[in-house]
Structure 1
Amino acid sequence: MVGATPNRLSALYCHLAEEGEEGQERTRLTSLVGPTSLARSEEAGEDNAFTDCLAVGSDLGLFVVDGDIIRLMSPPMGDKGDAFRAELAARLVDHVASATTPEGAVAGAIAWMLCQDPRAPLKWTGSASVMLRKQQFRPEVTADFGMTNDSRFQQAVYWARALGFVTRTNLGEELVIPDPTCAIEHRLDKLLPHGTEKLLSSFLAELADCCPVFEGGSVRTQVEDLLRPELRRESGNVSASTTLALHRLKQRGVIDLRRLDDGRVLFVEGLLDDGRVSHIRRG
C-alpha cells in the first residue's frame, strides 16, 4: 500500500496518542497524512494516503476502528515517537520468525540490505531489485521480499530508515547505505546496560535473538542462505554493515571495544589495528 509511509503513520499515531482512549473521528484525521489529492480514489495503484495508513496500522495492531472512531490499541505512556518506533520494530522485525511469509517481507528486505557492503551503497533507482535477483543462486527458491521494482524497493527503504537500519545520502545521486547504528543503539539499554561488559560474540547473539535481521538471527540466516556462496559472510567475521555501526558507536563514545586473552575473538574490520575484538563495553 504505497500511501502508508512511516511518516504518515507516525503523524496518525502521535495525534491519536494525544486523544487517548476516546480516539478521534475519521473525518478529522484525513488531513493529517497529506493533501486530499493523495487520496483521490480507491482504484488499484492510487496513493490513497489515509485509507492505506489506516489499513496498514490496523493490520499491524496499532489502530482500532470502531465505526467512525479510530483509537490506538495501546496508548503510550512515555514519548510518543519512541513508542511508535518500538511498536513498529516489534511488529515488523523483532517478532518476525521468517522472511518467506508476507508478514516477513519488510524484515527480509532489511536483512538483505544489511547483507550489503556500506562501501558500495545501493542506488535509489535502477538496480536494487535486479541486484537482489542476481545475488541468489537457486532460481527455484528466489525471493524478492516485496522489492519487485524501484517503487517497492524505495518503500522498503522508508521502513528500514524509520527503524534505524539504513541511511540515505546524495553524492550526485541518491544512495542507500546499510547502517544499523541507530537500530543497535535503540537496543543497548536492554542488551548492554551502562557500566557492563560482555563478549562481543554474546552481545551479537543476543542482538540476533531480539532482532533477527542481524547476523545469526533466523531472518538473516534465511536471507544469507539464498545468496551465492561467495557473497556470504565468513564464519567469525562481523558483517560490514554491523562493523560500520560498531565503528560509529565507538567513535561517539557510546561503546568501547577491546581484545582480552580469555574471550572468543571476532574479526571486525578496521578496529584495534588487526580487527580482532573479544569484548564490548558500555560506559
Structure 2
Amino acid sequence: MSIITTIPAVPSRLFSIYAALSDSADGELRDQLEAWSTPPSLATRGSGDEDEAESSLFISALQEARRLGIVDERDGRLRIVESAREGKKRKDREADFRADLCKVLFDPVRAGQAEHGAFMLALSWFLSKNPLEPLNFSEAPQEMLRKELGENRDKTELTNQSRYQNFLYWARYLGFATFVGFDTVRRVFPDPTRAIAGVLPKIFGEAPLLEIESFLSALSEIFPVFEGGTARGVLDGMRTEPFDNSDRLSIATSLALQRLADRREIGLEAVADARGRILDFGVGTKRISRIRRGGAE
C-alpha cells in the first residue's frame, strides 16, 4: 500500500490529520479525531453505509499517515511524531507537512521501508514525458507504460485509472505537475517549477553562483527523480529501449529552469570554456554552464 494505491489517501485528507494534531502536545483520542473528520451531514444520519464509508476513508488516510512516519498512536491517542515537530515554528503548517512528506518520499531508504518506493519511479517516468504533449487526466497510461517499460511497468503502481489520478494529485501537490481544464478535457503537464523553486535556498546555500553540474547534483540529491538522481537512473534502466543519457535535459526540467529565470529567481549563464548542459524546449535549445541565484547580473 502507498499514497498511490490507497485511493482515499489524497493530500487534503492527510493534511487535515496532520493539521489537527499539530498543536496538540498530548495528542487526540482516535475516536475524537475520526468524529472531527466526519462531515456534520453524515454525523447526524446515524449508522449506515455512508457512515461506514466515511469511517473507512479516515482509517485509510490515517494508515498512510502512520506509514509515512508523521503520525503515531500511543495509549489510544494520536500524535505528530517528535521528529516532525523538531524545528517547526508552525507559521505554515502546510509547508511543514510537505517538508515532512518529502523526507520520506524522496529518501530511497525511508521510502522503501515505508513501502512508498514506487512513487519516485512513477514521478521519474512522469517528469520524462513531454509537457508539449500533455497527458489526459482521465486516461490511464498502461499502454504507454507497457511500450516504455515492458514487464517493469507495474513497478510504478500506475496500474489503473484511480491509482494514476491519485498519483497525479500528489505530483501536483508536491510541485511537480500542473492541471489545466476540467472533467474529461482535463490535461496534465509535468511541471517541476514549484518543486525546484522551493529548494533553491538549500541548493545554493551561501553560494551566489553554481556550475550547472553542481546545481543538478544538489537538485537530484534532494529529489532523486531529476536527471542524475538514483530513482531516475533506476527508471531509465527499466526502459525497453536505450535511453539517451546525453547532456540534454528533459523538456520538463528545461522549461522549469527557464520559467525560474524568467521570474528572475535564477540566472542562466553560458561560459565558452566551461562544461555545459543543453536545455531542450521542444522547439529550440539553449546551452547553459552556470546558474546564478536571484537572476543574471
TM-score w.r.t. length of structure 1:
0.87
Distance, in Å, in 1 between the alignment partners of 2:146 and 2:50 is: 33
Q: Secondary structure at the match of 1:280?
A: strand
Q: CA RMSD in A?
A: 2.6
Shift in alpha-carbon separation, 1:34–1:201, aligned structure 2, 3 A: farther
What do the CA deviations read for 1:59-85 (whole angstroms, capped 9, x no partner)?
111111123311100325223111100
Distance 1:28 1:97 in 2: 30
Distance apart, 1:200 and its partner CA: 1.1
Counterpart check, 1:202 vs 2:207:
no
Q: State how 1:108-119 maps to structure 2 within 5 Å.
A: 108-119=121-132
1:4 aligns with 2:9: yes
Q: Distance in 1 between matches of 2:181 and 2:103?
A: 30
Asked whether the equivalents of residues 98 and 222 of structure 1 are also in contact (C-alpha less than 8 Å), the reply is: no
* Amino acid of the structure 2 residue aligned with 1:7: S
Residue number in structure 1 paired with 2:203: 191
Q: Secondary structure at the match of 1:281?
A: strand
2:93 corresponding residue in structure 1: 80
- Which blocks of at least 5 consecutive residues in structure 1 are unaligned? none
How far does the alpha carbon of each residue in 1:26-53 deviate from its partner, in whole angstroms, 9 at most, with x for none?
A: 22222554535897437xxx98221011
Aligned to 1:3, what secondary structure does the other structure show?
Answer: coil
Contact 1:2–1:47 (8 Å) recurs in 2: no
Partner secondary structure for residue 164 of structure 1: coil
- Shift of the 243–274 alpha-carbon distance from structure 1 to 2, 3 Å rule, reads closer
Residue in 2 aligned with 1:125? 138
Total equivalences in the alignment: 274
1:238, 1:15 → 2: CA distance? 41
Match for 1:252 among 254, 263, 282?
263
Q: Counterparts of 1:208 and 1:194 in 2: how far apart (Å)?
A: 19
**Counterpart check, 1:242 vs 2:253:** yes
From 262, 266, 276, the counterpart of 1:265: 276
The structural deviation recorded for 1:226 is 1.9
Q: Is the 8 A contact 2:108 2:117 kept in 1?
A: no
**Of residues 25, 28, 32 in structure 2, which corresponds to 1:24?**
28
Q: TM-score, normalised by structure 2?
A: 0.83
